[in-house]
Amino acid sequence: MKSKKLSEKIIKTFKSNGFILSEPDILLDSEYIIERSGENFRRSMLAFENEDGKVMCLRPDLTVASCIKFLEKKSKSKIYYSGQAYRRINKKGADFVNDQLGIEILGSKDQLQDDFKVIKTILDSAKKIKSNKIKIKVGDISLFKKLINSLDMPERWKLRLIRHFWRPKYFEELLKRLEKNSDIDSITFDTDNKRFYEMKKMKQENVIARRSIAEILKRFNKKIKDPRSFNEGKKIVKIIRSFLKINCELSKLDEKLLNFAKINHLKKNIFKEFKSIQNLKKLNQEIIFITNFGRDIEYYTGIVFEIFSETKEIARGGRYDDLLKSLGAKKNIPAVGAAINLNNI
């Protein structure tokens, strides 16, 4: 861990804001992580086989590790942690070990208040160690979902675009296919149809790739019943690309979104629910809103943010209301958190 004095300053801020120490496990069941958290973690995990033949991994993510502990041991819901995340990164000179200090509100009861609490606490901590030129980038994954669900296109396309938004390269391929009205070929459709009826015979509560059989069948059913012909792809893609170019100061966001809705003949109130973003005006801090920001981590569902000094990221976090359910909770448990990356300080 880097400077002990530095860590003590940050931890003092965490404690003064009501966060209680939690120490998530270092070793995790790698199969469980892959099944529940997706292939993105498979590529980054440092895994090994123990003496019993079970494949374990060093925790690749402290948020995921904290959520697992919360579910298994019923730990406190407003926590802070100090430790390392171990992740393989395909970048020259990148560290395998990331020293982090972070906070999480698991079972968040007040989205507006808790989003602000996490960002304000992390910002205050960052200012204690990097007082100069601190800025914030923010985005909101839920705004993208609201846009997609408001557009007039087949349900299967909405599901694809929302599901793969966090994978920029593949998402771009989907946009190109949609633009050319290139849908799933008949062979793939027939395979999906066959699989649908096979899965109906399986236990509905079983989980595959983080979703129960019942949830998968519900999605399949929508796709199968969807009309196969669609000729508005080019128009839809133009709207999506236009949305993903929005990049402005927070003070100008209301006007930008209203103008975007007007130009594209969308309902005026399509983006009315983004109070967590608007609430950040109270920080009296330079904040940039970017629609294309924060989509590189699969589990984010709402507000996402990054605090940086000059060009260096100090901290990062966001809201992840679906993650705890994907890790085994019986229902969605709202949550929000962030971590300071000590390697960058």
Q: Where are the domains of the chain?
A: 1-131+335-345, 154-245
- Cα 26 to Cα 32, 68, 109, 206: the distances in Å are 14, 11, 28, 27
Element (H, E) at 212: strand 211-212
The CB-side HSE value for 89 (13 A sphere, CA atoms) comes to 13
55-58 and 46-49 beta bridge pairing? antiparallel
Q: Is the pLDDT of residue 184 over 70?
A: no
> What is the structure's pLDDT at 96?
81
- Cα 23 to Cα 30, 73, 102: the distances in Å are 19, 11, 11
Mean of pLDDT values over 56-69? 91
Q: 317 has which bridge partners?
A: 305, 338
At how many degrees (to 10) do helices 155-163 and 213-225 cross?
A: 130
> What is the structure's pLDDT at 93?
60
Q: Can you tell me the distance from the alpha carbon of 285 to that of 280, in angstroms, rounded to the nearest whole number? A: 8
> What is the structure's pLDDT at 316?
94
- Token digits of residue 272: 């009315």
* Higher per-residue pLDDT: 192 or 83: 83
- 230 Cβ contact list (under 8 Å, min separation 6): 153, 154, 157, 181, 183
What integer best gives the mean pLDDT of the chain? 85
Q: Is the pLDDT of residue 151 over 80?
A: yes
Q: Can you tell me the distance from the alpha carbon of 224 to that of 215, in angstroms, rounded to the nearest whole number? A: 14
Neighbours of 163 (CB within 10 A): 13
> What is the structure's pLDDT at 310?
78
For 67-88, write each residue's pLDDT tens digit.
999 998 776 789 999 999 998 7
Element (H, E) at 274: none
Q: Can you tell me the distance from the alpha carbon of 32 to that of 25, in angstroms, rounded to the nearest whole number? A: 14
From the list 165, 221, 160, the residue with the least C-alpha distance to 196 is 221
Q: Which fold has domain 1-131+335-345?
A: BirA Bifunctional Protein; domain 2 (3.30.930)
